[in-house]
């Protein structure tokens, strides 16, 4: 059975004893604001039912055994969400064989004895139509769930593809290093290749975590007076390698008047870097990517314009939805998980702003316009310092304990930290870590959380119970990063919570800062 066009969804299909009865019924129902369609016979009614109906009203005289069976077969073919209400107008007196057939054959049937008051008939039909509308709502819900399930399936396939992309050069480079034993110069190129691919995988996972936190309202902005030109400069630096690899021309046209917004500089940089990356990714080489920033009233308006593949008109409204990618472009060429623009829109809206996409169609480029409220205070703050890169790392000193049930992860991290000057010890379980810690009394312990038998939180509580642990810096290094995980990890006595893989500059900064104020007290065991 067809789901029906909207114009057919509310109509009542009539099958009466005579054409005169049909005309009278149509007139009565029309005065009540109900649309009725008269059918000459049961085959005609069944055909109309396939086009859509809100209810069916039958006279007893019209439902002989054959007609009842024909309608019952049509009703049995309804999709799972559909159960068309059937009203039978019965003759006064004892129930006939026709009424018995109707009661037996039709699942959703109401029998009304004639003669009846017009108000009673209209009331029964309106009740039937209300029930039918609920079925249409269920249909819409099921359609939405099917679409979401389809997007999820496509997303998982895309995720597998996106993870295989960086894994391929990683695997190749490792094989080359094992077979060739290359000289330092060539090995350095492989190192740079592997670093790029690992960074790409980290960004994929970070984007997933960011969207999850934002959609659950678990993200907090670090608001300050932020100069927009500094944010755009930082975003350009992050995106420049992708722009240059594509052979694109990058044009900046920033406002001569400082544009200061109240926002989170890191998140705003994320917004514009995402937009620049998209512009570079979707533009055939050589293309042109422009960034224009202007003041319009009390708003800062930033446009990112590209000469790329463009956006089809029917995609403009859904382009910011989760897992949606631009149609008309091969996914293998696009890359990404289809969540970047979802993240961008969420972050912009968290700043009280808005974003819109515009395009003249496929092959005509695209323009993304971000509007942010200007800060009331016009004072321009200093630009934030850039985070140190690996080459500017300090030297580690003292004893350090690495604990992870994944032997490769533990050994490689210990080797890395040992190369920076630390004296590392490695444990692959909580019990082994306790024994080594009591023997060596490390200054720093880096613990995985998801370990069997004794997990990282239990290990942290036991370490904090040791009399020598006041000076111990406890760092959780884990893949668990949800809000509940952070609360549980902090309650166990950890000083810091870092997500895998280790961001070395961030880690070194934490070590330089030492234990956070307010965590000097020992955490008692439960």
Q: How far apart are CA 382 and CA 227, in angstroms?
A: 8
- Is the pLDDT at 5 greater than 60? The verdict is no
Domain containing 127 equals: 6-142
Residue 399 and residue 368 share a domain: no
Q: How far apart are CA 461 and CA 458, in angstroms?
A: 5
Residue 229 and residue 210 share a domain: no
Residue 254 and residue 180 share a domain: no
Percentage, residues of the chain above pLDDT 90: 46
362 in Cβ contact with 311 (< 8 Å): yes
**Residue 347 belongs to a domain:** yes
Residue 462 and residue 411 share a domain: yes
**Residue 479 belongs to a domain:** yes
Single residue among 193, 215, 237 that ends a domain in this structure: 215
Q: What distance lies between CA 163 and its chain's CA centroid?
A: 17
Residue 460 and residue 339 share a domain: no
Token pair recorded at residue 55: 């209810």
Q: Give the chain's mean pLDDT.
A: 85
- Is the pLDDT at 503 greater than 80? The verdict is yes
Q: How far apart are CA 333 and CA 310, in angstroms?
A: 14
The CATH number given to whatever domain includes residue 334 is 3.30.565.10
The CATH number given to whatever domain includes residue 167 is 1.10.287.130
Q: In DSSP terms, which residues pair with 261 in a beta bridge?
A: 226, 374
- Is the pLDDT at 166 greater than 80? The verdict is no
pLDDT at 242: 85
> Which of 317-321, 366-370, 467-471 is predicted least confidently?
317-321
**Residue 93 belongs to a domain:** yes
The answer to whether the predicted template modeling score (pTM) of the entire model surpasses 0.95 is no
Helices H / strands E in the chain, number of each: 15, 17
* Cβ neighbours, 10 Å, residue 342: 21
- Is the pLDDT at 384 greater than 60? The verdict is no
- Is the pLDDT at 217 greater than 50? The verdict is yes
Single residue among 215, 235, 250 that ends a domain in this structure: 215
pLDDT at 338: 63
**Residue 310 belongs to a domain:** yes
Among residues 279, 286, 324, the alpha carbon closest in space to that of 302 is found at: 279
The tokens 């955490």 sit on which residue? 523
Burial class (CB in 10 A: 0-12, 13-18, 19+), 487: exposed
Residue 99 and residue 178 share a domain: no
Mean pLDDT for 454-461 is 95
Residue 102 and residue 13 share a domain: yes
How many structural domains are present in the chain? 4
Instruction: Transcribe 39-57 into DSSP letters.
Output: -SSHHHHHHHHHH--SEEE
**Residue 443 belongs to a domain:** yes
Among residues 204, 196, 193, 199, the alpha carbon closest in space to that of 162 is found at: 204
Residue that wins the pLDDT comparison between 425 and 316: 425
Mean pLDDT for 103-115 is 88
pLDDT at 337: 58
The CATH number given to whatever domain includes residue 18 is 3.40.50.2300
Note the residue count of the chain: 526
pLDDT band, residue 215 (cuts 50/70/90): low
Residue 309 and residue 259 share a domain: yes
- Is the pLDDT at 281 greater than 90? The verdict is no
Q: Is the dihedral of CA 222, 226, 231, 234 positive or negative?
A: negative
pLDDT at 259: 94
Residue that wins the pLDDT comparison between 319 and 458: 458
pLDDT at 394: 58
**Residue 38 belongs to a domain:** yes
Residue 234 and residue 179 share a domain: no
Residue 87 and residue 175 share a domain: no
Helical spans, DSSP H, in 301-384 = 331-334, 340-350
Q: How far apart are CA 160 and CA 358, in angstroms?
A: 30
Residue 194 and residue 128 share a domain: no
Among residues 464, 151, 143, 188, the alpha carbon closest in space to that of 318 is found at: 151
Q: What distance lies between CA 304 and its chain's CA centroid?
A: 23
CA distances from 327 to 276, 324, 358, 362 (A): 19, 9, 15, 9
Residue 440 and residue 507 share a domain: yes
Give the 3-state DSSP-derived string for 488-519, with helices as H, strands as E and coil as C: HHHHCCCCEEEECCCCHHHHHHHHHHCCCCCC
pLDDT band, residue 442 (cuts 50/70/90): very high
Single residue among 195, 215, 235 that ends a domain in this structure: 215
The beta-carbon contacts of 22-27 under 8 Å, at least 24 apart in sequence, are 25/57
pLDDT band, residue 63 (cuts 50/70/90): confident
Hey, which of 51-60, 243-252, 377-386 has the most confident mean pLDDT? 51-60
**Residue 520 belongs to a domain:** no
**Residue 272 belongs to a domain:** yes
């Amino acid at each position: 059975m067809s789901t029906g066009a909207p114009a057919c969804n509310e109509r009542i299909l009539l099958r009466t004893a005579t054409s005169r009865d049909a005309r009278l019924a149509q007139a009565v129902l029309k005065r009540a604001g109900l649309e009725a369609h008269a059918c000459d016979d049961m085959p005609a009614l069944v055909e109309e039912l396939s086009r859509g109906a809100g209810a069916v009203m039958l006279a007893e005289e019209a439902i002989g055994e054959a007609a009842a069976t024909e309608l019952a077969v049509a009703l049995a073919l309804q999709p799972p969400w559909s159960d068309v209400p059937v009203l039978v107008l019965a003759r006064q007196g004892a129930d006939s064989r026709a009424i018995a057939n109707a009661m037996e054959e039709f699942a959703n049937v109401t029998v009304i004895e004639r003669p009846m008051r017009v108000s009673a008939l209209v009331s029964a039909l309106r009740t039937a139509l209300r029930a039918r509308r609920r079925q249409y709502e269920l249909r819409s819900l099921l359609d939405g769930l099917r679409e979401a399930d389809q997007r999820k399936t496509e997303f998982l396939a895309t995720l597998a593809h996106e993870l295989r992309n960086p894994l391929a050069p990683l695997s190749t480079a490792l094989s080359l290093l094992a077979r060739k034993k290359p000289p330092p110069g060539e090995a350095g190129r492989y190192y740079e290749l592997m670093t790029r691919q690992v960074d790409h995988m980290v960004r994929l996972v970070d984007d997933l975590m960011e969207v999850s936190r934002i959609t659950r309202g678990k993200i907090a902005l670090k608001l300050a007076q932020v100069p927009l030109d500094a944010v755009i400069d930082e975003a350009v630096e992050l995106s420049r390698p992708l722009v240059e690899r594509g052979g694109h021309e990058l044009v900046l046209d920033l406002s001569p008047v400082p544009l200061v917004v109240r926002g989170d500089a890191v998140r705003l940089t994320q917004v514009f870097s995402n937009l620049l990356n998209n512009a570079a990714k979707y533009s055939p080489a050589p293309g042109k990517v422009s960034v224009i920033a202007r003041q319009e009233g009390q708003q800062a308006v930033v446009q990112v314009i590209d000469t790329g593949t463009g956006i089809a008109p029917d995609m403009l409204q859904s382009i910011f939805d989760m897992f949606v990618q631009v149609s008309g472009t091969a996914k293998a060429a696009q890359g990404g998980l289809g969540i970047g623009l979802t993240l961008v829109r969420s972050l912009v809206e968290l700043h009280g702003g808005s974003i819109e996409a515009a395009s003249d169609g496929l092959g005509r480029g695209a323009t993304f316009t971000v509007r942010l409220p200007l800060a009331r205070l016009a004072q321009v703050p200093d630009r934030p310092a850039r985070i140190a890169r690996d080459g500017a790392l300090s030297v580690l000193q003292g004893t350090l304990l690495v604990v992870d049930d994944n032997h490769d992860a533990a050994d490689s991290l210990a080797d890395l930290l040992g190369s920076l000057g630390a004296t590392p010890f490695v444990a692959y379980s909580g019990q082994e870590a306790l024994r080594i810690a009591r023997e060596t009394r490390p200054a720093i312990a880096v613990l995985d959380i998801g370990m069997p038998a004794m997990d990282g939180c239990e290990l942290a509580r036991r370490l904090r119970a040791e009399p020598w642990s006041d000076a111990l810096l406890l760092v959780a290094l884990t893949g668990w990063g949800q809000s509940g995980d952070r609360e549980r990890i902090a309650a166990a006595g950890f000083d810091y919570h870092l997500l895998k893989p280790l961001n070395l500059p961030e880690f070194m900064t934490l070590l330089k800062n030492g234990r956070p104020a307010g965590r000097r007290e020992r955490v008692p065991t439960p």
